[in-house]
Amino acid sequence: MKKDLKQVNSSIPKIDGMGLVKGKPAYTQDLIPSNILIVKTLKSPHAFAKVLNVNYEEALKVEGIEAIFSWKDVPQTIITRAGQGFPEPSPYDRYILNEYVRHVGDEVAIVAGETEEAVEEALKLIKVDYEVLEAVLDLETAVGHSSIIHPEKEAFSMFPIGFDANKNIAAAYEMHVGDVDDVIAKSEVKVEGTYFTQAQAQVPLEPHNCFTYVDFHGRLNVITSTQTPVHIRRIMGRALSMPLKKIRVFKPRVGGGFGGKQMLHGELFCAMVTLKTGKAAKMIYTRKEVFESTCCRHAMRFNLRVASDKEGYIKAIDMDVLSDTGAYGEHALTVLMVAGSKTLPLYNKVEAVRFNGVVCYTNHTPAGAYRGYGALQANFALESLLDELAEKLGISTVELHKKNMISEGESSPIFKIMGEGSEGVDMNVESCKLDYCLDRSIELIGWENKYPRKEIAPNKVRGVGLAIAMQGSGIAHIDMGSAILKLNDDGFFNLLMGATDIGTGSDTILAQVAAEAIGISASDIVVYSSDTDLTPFDTGAYASSTTYVTGNAVRKAGLNMRKLLIETVAKKFKVTPEEVTFENGVFTTEKESITLKEFSTRLYYNEGLDQKQLVASDSYVGEQSPPPFMVGVAEVEVDTETGFFTILDYAAVVDCGTTLNPNLAKIQVEGGLMQGIGMAVYEDVVYTSSGRMLTNNLMTYKIPTREDVKKLTVEFADSYDPSGPYGAKSVGEIGIDTPPAAIANAIYNAVGVRIKTLPITPEKVLMALKLKEK
């Protein structure tokens, strides 16, 4: 199947790559017209407060100030800014501005003016009276706290998600198969542990930014660095009480998203200014605002129990989760559910499994979407604990995994029970090369000679550790993508898609898919994406959906176009479609032939009454969400005197089905690994005891630099998923999942201390070593 592919499974250069390297204007900020109002917001200095009064009289007098709004000046329509499908599985608990501010950095007022200086000056002159309320800053005491973060009676959920504002619960979920307590009680070997995963910031290098204007038709245009144009349009329509036909959302090139740009951020502030003043307005977030006022990863606590028989066959898994959604409940339920749905099916032969979770509100910066959400956190807990189980059983972790992990053709009851915000979809795993991934990744790292440890100097010990992971490919039965293909004279095509390339290369791989289906070269496809006026519906770039969901839509549209071309040529030559072949840009019948180039030009200029535009389209909703799989193996060197450790090598072997563009797939995994390594050992969103974020810039919040990585080795398994476009599954998120557990396990194997609270820092390792000595 794969060997016949001509355009896909080929590493063509990213179509926008060279232009971006050469610095051509392409991002939202590069397209902002001059003479545009500058919009900034006044932020709350308090973690939780009621805004009693906002006095902006003096501020309005600053020369160049055009408008200032407090919560009393903007519509009080309750929304969720999560940027998900509709109805959203996130609670409606947000306003454009509100009389309560719920975290440091929550917006209090919007200021628009002609110059930066004027706006800055006005911000200083606004006088706000706050009634400071007791903030909830501890995940473990948030539920049932006397301080209620969402006292507003308007807050609600579109359908039952366990939302209980009076208890500070944004969402909750419970499911079980079999009797977990009973199976664990009867099992021969038991392990349990508590694990903490921290909030991590997405840190796209392009800060969030947008601009808005009302065009000559009186329509609101929103140009924004987003992952979800159609959701932005829908949510703005609700918040501003505008019919969607009055709103256009366009996404230029995006300088990285990683989930951080799935939600709405500045769009509503900018739009308020434009709608009230009639003037164009721009909002460019500072890095501090990106950290404090957008979103981060949900911090989580796991209480986990696993039981097996003496041979090492896992009998039960019991996962209990407490998640911190911060001030607002965006993605509260879905991230929670993914913690179970993207880890538990890995061990599908258990007799009983239980998942129970609560997502609480706190007065932290809200958590939102971030690559690998839920899955990454749970992976750390589960794969760490399984390492302990292997040790207790006296078998290697490789053997333990081989005995228990899911195989091709198998299923898991979890697939049907747990979806993402709702019930899932039953499926058999049609492609799963975990066996190969495991064998190959330990071979790459040289496991046989290195496991579990090697002392290389009196105070330097090396160790290896591993973790396995799965993701999904879009949200089955919910995520929809579509594509339109338009033939032009001179024989090239426009591919119009709502799919949202945020730097991943999706425009490129989807052009490859379209070209493969039509039977032409990808260089004859001109891609135009993410403009709600011109491109068809697509839920957007999240949940590892674009390759699989939009990819299938593009493939179908491409096949439709090929059929249409052949039918039109057949009609022209008065033969049946079966008598026409189309290869290498030439249509051939028994007697005649014509190039696509000539045919298309004639079709639009020289065919008299037969002249017509050829357009093909199609859409796709995933019937299932085939998981990509991977194995990650870390080798670390630990200094036992200082606790300092180095990641010497990280080997990863991934089964994502066909790699539509092997180079771009590889970089997706390498980039994911590096963010996973950041989560594992460097990155941590830290607050003061009063709820002010200490890590609100790149000097205090450390993402990995190129000196922090010695070696990454990424390979792909030969795999083909029959439901994917040309066999492809997703690859965007999976890379991030394994580093925390694999590195924790490697450190344990090296020096015998298990770090259960991320990030794993040298200080924690040293402290654990000292405690062990005692």
Partner 1 sequence: MNIQVTINGASRTWSIEPHELLLDTLRRYGYLSVKKGCDSGSCGVCTVLINDKPVNSCSIFAAKVDGSNIVTVEGVQAEAEKIGAYMVDEGVDQCGFCSPGFVLTVLGLQKELKNPTEDDILHYLSGNLCRCTGYVGQARAIHKYLKESK
Taking the least distance from each CB to partner 1, the nearer of 23 and 608 is: 23
Minimum separation from the CB atom of position 709 to partner 1 (A): 6
- Sequence-ordered list of residues with C-beta below 8 angstroms from that of 546, at least 6 positions apart, any chain: 481, 499, 500, 504, 506, 510, 730, 732
Place of tokens 């880890």: 343
Which helix or strand (DSSP H or E) is residue 196 part of?
strand 189-197
Binding site for partner 1 (CB under 8 A): 11, 13-14, 16-18, 20-27, 29-30, 203-207, 253-256, 258, 284, 286-288, 502-505, 661, 663-664, 666-667, 670-675, 697-699, 703-707, 709, 711-712
The smaller minimum CB distance to partner 1, of residues 20 and 559, is found at: 20
Lookup: tokens for 701: 């919040």
452 preceded by a cis bond (ω within 30 of 0): yes
Look at residues 448, 469, 307, 442 and name the one whose alpha carbon lies nearest to residue 388: 307
CB-wise, 395 or 709, nearer to partner 1? 709
Cα-based distances in Å from 613 to 155, 485, 744: 49, 11, 59
| Structure tokens that stand for 187 in this block | 């099992």
Give the integer Cα–Cα distance in Å for 628 and 468. 11
φ/ψ bin of 769: left (φ > 0), alpha (ψ from -120 to 50), beta (otherwise): alpha
> Least distance in Å: CB of 207 to partner 1?
7
Which single residue is written with the structure tokens 């070696």? 711
CB of 609 to partner 1, least distance (A): 46
Q: Which amino acid is at 765?
A: V
Residue 470 CB, shortest distance to partner 1, in Å, is 20
Kindly tell me the sign of the dihedral angle through the C-alpha atoms of 501, 506, 512, 518: negative
Give the integer Cα–Cα distance in Å for 412 and 349.
Answer: 8
Alpha helices in 44-191 (DSSP H): 57-60, 116-125, 180-186
Q: 250 or 285: whose CB is closer to partner 1? A: 285
When the beta carbons of 142 and 263 are compared against partner 1, the nearer one is: 263
CB of 756 to partner 1, least distance (A): 26
For the CB of residue 370, give the shortest distance to partner 1 in the complex, in Å: 12
Of 170 and 201, which CB lies nearer to partner 1 in the complex structure? 201
Instruction: State both tokens at 389.
Output: 């189980």
Nearer to partner 1, 146 or 705 (CB): 705
Minimum distance of partner 1 from residue 38's CB (angstroms): 12
Q: Minimum Å distance from CB 376 to partner 1?
A: 16
Torsions phi, psi of 575, nearest 5? -130, 175
Residue number with CB closer to partner 1 (369 or 484): 369
The number of residues making up the chain comes to 774
Strand locations in 345-479 (E): 352-361, 453-457, 460-470
**Cβ of residue 714: shortest distance to partner 1, in angstroms?**
9
Pairwise CA distance, residues 582 & 341, whole Å: 44
- Nearer to partner 1 by Cβ, of 19 and 87: the residue is 19
| Nearest alpha-carbon partner for 538 in 524, 525, 554 | 554
Q: Angle 543-227-284 (CA atoms, 0-180°, nearest 5)?
A: 145
Taking the least distance from each CB to partner 1, the nearer of 34 and 613 is 34
Q: How far is the CB of 684 from partner 1 (least distance, A)?
A: 16
Q: How far is the CB of 687 from partner 1 (least distance, A)?
A: 19
Closest to partner 1 by CB, 248 vs 297, is 297
Angle, CA 353 vertex, CA 350 and CA 356 arms, to 5°: 160
Which residues 6+ apart lie within 8 Å of 679 measured at CB? Answer: 197, 198, 200, 297, 376, 736, 739, 740, 758, 759
Nearer to partner 1, 20 or 425 (CB): 20
Closer CB to partner 1, residue 584 or residue 697? 697
At its nearest, how many Å lie between partner 1 and the CB of residue 681?
14
Question: Phi and psi of 629, rounded to 5°?
Answer: -130, 160
CB of 248 to partner 1, least distance (A): 23
